[in-house]
Amino acid sequence: MKHVAALLFLFLISCQTPKDKDKILPLEKGKQYITVLGIAQDGGYPHIGCQKECCANFYNGKSNKKSVVSLGLVDLDNKQKWLFDATPNMHTQLATLEQHHLKKENLIDGVFLTHAHIGHYTGLMYFGREAFGKKDIKVYAMPKMKSFLKENGPWSQLISLQNIQLQNLQHDATLVLNNKIKVTPFLVPHRDEFSETVGYKIEGTQKTALFIPDIDKWHKWNRNIIDEVKKVDYAFVDATFLNQNEVKRAMTEVPHPFIQETIDVFKNETLATKNKVIFIHFNHTNPTLQKNSKERKEIEKMGFRFASEGDNYTL
């Protein structure tokens, strides 16, 4: 019977898809991984002022609340954890890291910011004396983002009271976090009213991820998104809108690559390449925000993937 059980176990392991293996929560000591803490666009889900069916699905119990886009980076070996973007949901996202991933004396080892749009930095307010009120939490930011925080309240108070300790980031300059993990910020074109916008490359010992929650359009970037995706194992990319017809406002005001545009960019690529693309940062109107939507199922059949809160990706 022992031999039969062993053979059955090996059979089940061999039948797992690469997607299944990547998403297994790495519980063994000495592992590093990314965990998805939020998937919605800056306004979250349900969205303020929305009376449409998409948000009614939350109020009538058909859909769950979705937090604003954030990734957690966990190193169980070195007992360290970091956060990518400080969202309005940061207080519960940090609690999730604490309760379900890594509990330690200091709440977080650092927060990496992408840019100065409300969903990506305003969670810093929770570090202030009205809330957490502790000292010297490391916040990694690019030069213009640092200036914005220093020169504008209430963020400047976080600095003067030493609640946060700003850390320098530079375009394409790799930051070695420890002997297992490296992070590299890179500039992307976006509506840079108050700061520059960056994406991140996150490197573990075995695998690498891209995180680009916001960008105007792929063709505006001075890099080729296909080439960049091929260099990594996971690519969490901007999926704010499904297509042009989704909302009744000028898309020039809020430019993002439509999911349909990203699909068209990758249409001639292999299934293995498409499977690296993980859509994230969904507007509340985007039908693919809902797991069981027909639009999402059709896109998944093409080989593309969708981020869901609680997913884990080993590094």
Q: What would the pLDDT profile of 264-282 be if each residue is shown by its tens digit? A: 999 999 999 999 999 999 9
Mean pLDDT of the chain: 88
CB 206 within 8 A of CB 314: yes
Q: What is the pLDDT of residue 59?
A: 82
Q: Give Cα 51 to chain centroid, integer Å.
A: 27
> How would you list the strands of the sheet with 234-238, edge to edge?
175-176, 182-187, 198-203, 208-212, 234-238, 277-280, 305-306
Residue with tokens 């069916």: 53
pLDDT band per the 50, 70, 90 thresholds, residue 187: very high
Q: Which two tokens stand for residue 246?
A: 């989704």
Structural domains of the chain, with CATH: 21-314 (3.60.15.10)
Q: 172: helix, coil or strand? A: coil
HSE, CB side, 13 Å, CA atoms: give it for residue 187: 13
Q: What is the pLDDT of residue 147?
A: 97
Instruction: Centre a 10 Å sphere on the Cβ of residue 76 and count the other Cβ atoms it contains.
Output: 18
Q: What is the pLDDT of residue 91?
A: 96
- Measured distance CA(33)–CA(233) in Å, rounded: 12
* C-alpha distances in Å from residue 285, one per residue of 30, 50, 162, 244: 40, 9, 39, 12
pLDDT band per the 50, 70, 90 thresholds, residue 252: low
The greatest distance separating any two alpha carbons of the chain, rounded to the nearest whole angstrom, comes to 70
Q: What is the pLDDT of residue 192?
A: 85
Q: Is the pLDDT of residue 314 over 60?
A: yes
Question: 176 - beta bridge partners?
Answer: 182
For 312, residues 6+ apart whose C-beta sits below 8 A from its C-beta are 23, 24, 25, 26, 33, 34, 35, 36
Q: What is the pLDDT of residue 17?
A: 42
What average pLDDT score do residues 124-135 get? 94
Q: Is the pLDDT of residue 15 over 80?
A: no
Considering only CA atoms, which of 285, 304, 81, 255 is closest in space to residue 178?
Answer: 81
Residue type, 29: K
Q: 130: helix, coil or strand? A: coil
pLDDT per position as a tens digit, 131-164: 999 999 999 999 999 999 999 999 999 999 999 9
Instruction: Centre a 10 Å sphere on the Cβ of residue 139 and count the other Cβ atoms it contains.
Output: 25
Q: What is the pLDDT of residue 153?
A: 93
Q: Is the pLDDT of residue 199 over 80?
A: yes
Instruction: Centre a 10 Å sphere on the Cβ of residue 41 and count the other Cβ atoms it contains.
Output: 29
pLDDT band per the 50, 70, 90 thresholds, residue 25: very low
Residue 154: cis peptide before it, omega within 30 degrees of 0: yes
Q: Angle at the Cα of 52 (from 50 to 56), degrees rounded to 5?
A: 90
Q: Which two tokens stand for residue 208?
A: 């690498």
